[in-house]
Amino acid sequence: MPAERTKGADITQQILTHATRLFAARGFVGASLRDIAKAVGIRKPSLLYHFNSKDDLRRGVLEKMLAHWNEVVPRLLKAATSGHEQFQAVATETLEFFRADPDRARLLLRELLDRPEEMEPLIESHVQPWTKIICDYIRKGQQQGRVHPDIDPEAYVVHMINLMVCGVALHDSMIALMPAGDDGREQLAARTMTELLRFARAGLFIDPAAAREGIEAPGPLPEPASVSGKEPSPER
């Protein structure tokens, strides 16, 4: 019975998808089960057959997002330990995780506001490793004299995460501050992200330009870094 199983799992995924969208847009209490079911194209009791309660659905949505995050973390670790442009790689990889689906950032933000104490263990388990890696990287850079000596690594990393998560989540609102007369939304987004990475580098490295061009022993020259330099990530 692979067909049935497939179908059931398919509906479950559809529910998760639309629930993610609506939770991100209206919040957990603001998005009703009826609306989510309607978006999927079923009735509310059918939805409750797949998820026993609304809170079950919330956990499912969160788990799905964290599962995706767990997929990118290994790439982050690998990028962080590879020879060159470690910072750029980790930053763009993390940023792209949220940019790929801004609802992730909005959902995370809402959960942090609604249930901070409940999110704390998740933060510790899922982003603590990330943090530790970057902090080690920063301290190493400080010893080598490439990174500003007066940085507070943990605090710096907190601000970086803040910039990436909230920057994506609130981007549509934030660009109201930018003279949008000539540029399209896409171009504004690119400007914002470019400046974010420049900002992050400038706050970290003593010589950002050098850091961008290849940090340690002279090696293979990376291409002039634009927004996405590392991965052959698809340009929309």
Q: Of these, 22, 46, 66, 202, which contacts DNA (CB under 7 A)?
A: 46
- The site partner of 161 among a second copy, DNA, none (C-beta below 5 to 8 Å per kind) is a second copy
Name the minimum Å distance from CB 152 to a second copy: 4
Q: Which range binds DNA by CB under 7 A, 28-36, 151-159, 182-190, 225-233? A: 28-36
- The site partner of 7 among a second copy, DNA, none (C-beta below 5 to 8 Å per kind) is DNA
40 alpha-carbon distance from chain centroid: 25
**Residue keyed to tokens 């009791």:** 45
d(CA 186, CA 85): 26
- The site partner of 192 among a second copy, DNA, none (C-beta below 5 to 8 Å per kind) is a second copy
Using H for helix, E for strand and C for coil, what is the string for 129-150?
HHHHHHHHHHHHHHHHCCECCC
Say if residue 24 is exposed, middle or buried (CB neighbours under 10 Å; 0-12, 13-18, 19+).
Answer: buried
Binding mask 93-112 for a second copy (x = CB under 8 A): -------------x--xx-x
Could you tell me the two tokens for 214? 């290849």
Name the minimum Å distance from CB 125 to a second copy: 11
Q: Of these, 18, 21, 50, 230, which contacts DNA (CB under 7 A)?
A: 50
d(CA 181, CA 179): 6
Q: Of these, 45, 149, 179, 218, which contacts DNA (CB under 7 A)?
A: 45
Contact between 230 and a second copy by CB under 8 A: the answer reads yes
Contact between 233 and a second copy by CB under 8 A: the answer reads no
d(CA 178, CA 77): 35
Q: How far is CA 164 from CA 90, 111, 228, in A?
A: 12, 16, 14
User: Residue 225: left if φ>0, alpha if ψ -120 to 50, beta else—which one?
Assistant: beta
Q: Which range binds DNA by CB under 7 A, 47-55, 94-102, 103-111, 115-123? A: 47-55
Contact between 131 and a second copy by CB under 8 A: the answer reads yes
Contact between 8 and DNA by CB under 7 A: the answer reads yes
Say if residue 3 is exposed, middle or buried (CB neighbours under 10 Å; 0-12, 13-18, 19+).
Answer: exposed
d(CA 69, CA 16): 16
Q: Where on the chain is the footprint of DNA (CB under 7 A)?
A: 1, 3-5, 7-8, 11, 31-35, 42-46, 48-50, 52-55
Q: Where on the chain is the footprint of a second copy (CB under 8 A)?
A: 26-27, 29-30, 106, 109-110, 112-114, 116, 119-120, 123-124, 127-128, 131, 139, 142-143, 148-159, 161-163, 165-167, 169-170, 172-179, 191-192, 194-196, 198-200, 202-204, 222, 224, 227-231
